[in-house]
Amino acid sequence: MNNPVRKIMFTTLMISILLVAQAVHAAPVPDFTMPLLDGKSVALKDFRGKPVLINFFHSK
């Protein structure tokens, strides 16, 4: 691997570690419910006490 690629990978890794460390000390979020693609819904309270990552992805 060349040097610029290593720098980018290292920077990405460090940012990821910092974001995870920050999330450990984050304040609790209010409960909400979201619809799933199959029409069902999921509530955030169902995952209380577990780490949750919500990815809002948009494709055009």
- Give pLDDT tens digits for 10-46: 999 999 888 887 777 667 778 899 898 899 999 999 9
The full set of domain ranges for the chain reads 3-47
Q: Given this model, what pLDDT does residue 19 score?
A: 83
CB 18, CB 26: distance < 8 Å: no
Q: Given this model, what pLDDT does residue 26 score?
A: 67
Beta bridge partners of 34: 42
Sequence-ordered alpha helix ranges (H) in the chain: 3-24
Q: Given this model, what pLDDT does residue 45 score?
A: 92
The larger pLDDT score, comparing residue 60 to residue 56, is at: 56
pLDDT of 9 > 80? The answer is yes
State the pLDDT confidence band at 49, using cuts at 50, 70 and 90.
confident
